Chains A and B, each alone.
Chain A
Amino acid sequence: MCFNKIIMEQIDIQLTAVQIRKSVVELITKSKDGHIPSAQSMVEILLVLYHNILNIDPKNPTDENRDRFILSKGHGCASLYSILANLGFFPKDELEKYATINGILGGHPEMQKVPGIEVSTGSLGHGFPMGVGMAMSAKLNNQKHKVYCVVGDGECNEGTIWEAANISAHFKLDNLVVIVDHNKQQASGDVFEIMNPHLLSEKWKSFGWETIELDGHNIESLHKAFTSLPFKSGKPSAIIANTIKGKGISFMENERRWHTAIPNEEEFKLAMAELDEQEKQLTKIKGGSKK
């Protein structure tokens, strides 16, 4: 398979990230359903993967040699939908129909409906363990593709995450990558107060994973990590990505109530104004760098 993807420059990813964040706010405000901050914290992770790393073809989304991507924290799907639509996995007008009876895009992603979605997630602790089966399959078939899973730090409360982590390391699944979106917040508040995960990097390491920790909004760090996979032959790779929940919208960042809150008209305008300003600045920088 050969997908002529356009390798995105850092500034383009930054700019696209803002546009994706605007789309997330629009989608969820309009439909009054969804999780804005969970979608915002992983935008750079998704963009670097989808534009620069994953071997995928929107025109042939079930090619057997494609890389598999699983959003195990399915509730953050709004940003993934925007990225998939931009890449042409499905028509952009599906975004307009998000969370409606006639649309294919729901509050959690479904593989039977949405091209580019590998497994249906939403129930936490299910996506990554299904990805383990997909990585086992690639090993059995002697295929070279990788399986990437984004899991939430709150999701790491689930026991099934650790069963799957154990199984992956035991079977030496070095074609499997977990990115923990460590945004430090879960539904009721601070992850360290709700159910202390302690040091997530140490935890994954002790389960037999080769683990690194990085800034999940730093495009260069993400790119460097993704191009060094597997970190160690014979071991699955874990990336603890430190992120900010609600990134990009100051009043939503790290604010518990925004986990499921829907902006009112004024809040929507404020959020969009902040993102517009960021877009303006980045466009200026981009223009300057071209000169």
Chain B
Amino acid sequence: MRKAFVEAISEILDTNEKALLLIGDIGAYLLKDVTAKHPNRVINMGIAEAGMMSAAVGLALEGWIPFVYTITPFVTARAYDQIRAGVGYHEANVKIVGVGSGLSYSALGGTHHSIEDIAIMRSIPGMTIISPSDGPETIEATKSIAKHVGPTYLRLMLNVPLLEVKKRKPFKIGNAEKLSKGKDITIIATGELVREALEVKDMLVKDKISTSVINMSTIKPIDRKTIENVMDESPIIFTLEEHNIIGGLGSAVAEVISESKLKSKPRLVRLGIQDKFTNKYGHKNELYEYLNLDAKSLYKRVKKEIKNG
């Protein structure tokens, strides 16, 4: 995803002379070619995320399209006040790009994980939130948000393998992507965990359970229509996110289900980080296993929930 973003921003800088990339002293090596090509429009703002965010607001008010790029907790939580009173309150056309979201910086520990960013960004009026599932979708999403006018947050992981899906729907802000059609249950996932959701779907086939998997790559505004469509089809809906289950995708889907006028009210099970910091080190896959977010553990949990009705 990181490389995909670099590819996309490089093209954006080539084609849109108002685009800027502000970096918080992160990614300088990956961005060296882009920087060499656009020395005035790729700006290293140092390790000062709050200052960087406010400066981005000033630049946006002058007509620039600043992409503000650094590690997720620092570009969201640390600069939250600047995002709220600056980007949000001024309806500034700033693109906030968090790299290494969720547990991506696994071995660096809890300070570098980001499990609250969707919750805090959702609460800012007018903020669009995009969480792609793999590299190609990241490229499409980055190009889309460059054209979209308004505050936007792009939630990226680090190195995510290509999603093994034959045909992908073109990315469009606000549209969820139905990756499989099933009649028994639905898993609505976002980000890298879409991959695990697809694997769970494959594992459930041998149990004769057919699963709809939805890639919710826009978290705000949430695609109500797609959620309501599966409400009629599935007695249980699972949400799956690399984020605290409080305030993230699960909460957004819960709001839609609760407020829906549809008579069918499926049970919602929120899978994700169960309201605790992850103070373990190791590879990301190991943390997935520790937190029961790997396909195998998820499969067991899904089966258990189906059994419990």
Interface residues of A (CB under 8 A from B): 111-112, 118-120, 122-123, 126, 129-138, 140-141, 159-160, 163-164, 166-167, 170
Contacts and interface: CB of A to CB of B under 8 A. Distances in A.
The 9 closest A-B pairs by CB, nearest first: A133-B58, A163-B51, A129-B54, A133-B55, A137-B62, A163-B48, A134-B58, A130-B58, A133-B59
Among B41, B56, B58: residue with most chain A CB under 10 A: B58
A21 B32 CA distance: 55
Interface string B68-89: 0000000000000110011001
Contacts of B61: 111, 118-119, 130, 133-134
Contact of A137 (B48, B64, B82): B64
Contacts of B50: 129, 159-160, 163
B97 interface: no
B107 interface: no
A141 B242 CA distance: 41
B125 interface: no
Given A126-B54, A167-B51, A160 B82 contact: yes
Contacts of B161: none
Given A120-B89, A120-B90, A133 B57 contact: yes
A122 B86 CA distance: 11
Nearest to A141: B62
A78 to B, nearest CB: 20
Contacts of A118: 61
Contacts of A164: 51, 54-55
B51 A123 contact: no
A166 B89 CA distance: 25
B46 to A, nearest CB: 7
Nearest to A123: B85
A120 B90 CA distance: 7
B45 interface: yes
Contacts of A140: 40-41, 64
Nearest to B40: A140
Contacts of B91: 112
A179 to B, nearest CB: 18
A172 B1 CA distance: 34
Given A129-B55, A133-B61, A137-B64, A170 B46 contact: yes
A122 B62 CA distance: 21
A170 to B, nearest CB: 7
12 contacts: A118-B61, A126-B54, A132-B54, A133-B57, A134-B61, A134-B62, A136-B55, A137-B64, A141-B62, A163-B50, A166-B51, A167-B52
Contacts of B55: 129-130, 132-133, 136, 164, 167
Interface of B: 40-41, 43, 45-46, 48, 50-52, 54-64, 66, 81-82, 85-86, 89-91
Overall SS of chain A's interface: helix
Contact of B58 (A122, A131, A160): A131
A132 B66 CA distance: 14
A159 B54 CA distance: 13
A252 to B, nearest CB: 29
A140 to B, nearest CB: 6
Contact of A167 (B45, B57, B60, B82): B45
Nearest to B85: A123
Given A133-B56, A160-B54, A164-B54, A126 B48 contact: no
A43 B164 CA distance: 66
Given A119-B58, A132-B58, A160-B51, 20 more contacts: A118-B61, A120-B89, A120-B90, A122-B85, A123-B81, A126-B82, A129-B58, A129-B82, A132-B51, A133-B66, A134-B59, A134-B61, A136-B59, A137-B63, A140-B41, A160-B54, A163-B48, A163-B51, A164-B51, A164-B55
A126 to B, nearest CB: 5
Contacts of B62: 133-134, 137-138, 141
A284 B115 CA distance: 68
A134 B66 CA distance: 12
Contacts of B40: 140
Nearest to B53: A129
A132 B51 CA distance: 9
Interface-centre pick from B41, B43, B59 (highest chain A CB count, 10 A) = B59
Nearest to A158: B50
A119 B89 CA distance: 10
Contacts of A122: 85
B86 A130 contact: yes
A167 B58 contact: no
B67 to A, nearest CB: 14
A120 B82 CA distance: 12
Contacts of A112: 90-91
A141 B43 CA distance: 15
A130 B64 contact: no
Contacts of A163: 48, 50-51
B233 to A, nearest CB: 44
Contacts of B60: 133
B127 to A, nearest CB: 17
Contacts of B54: 126, 129-130, 132-133, 160, 164
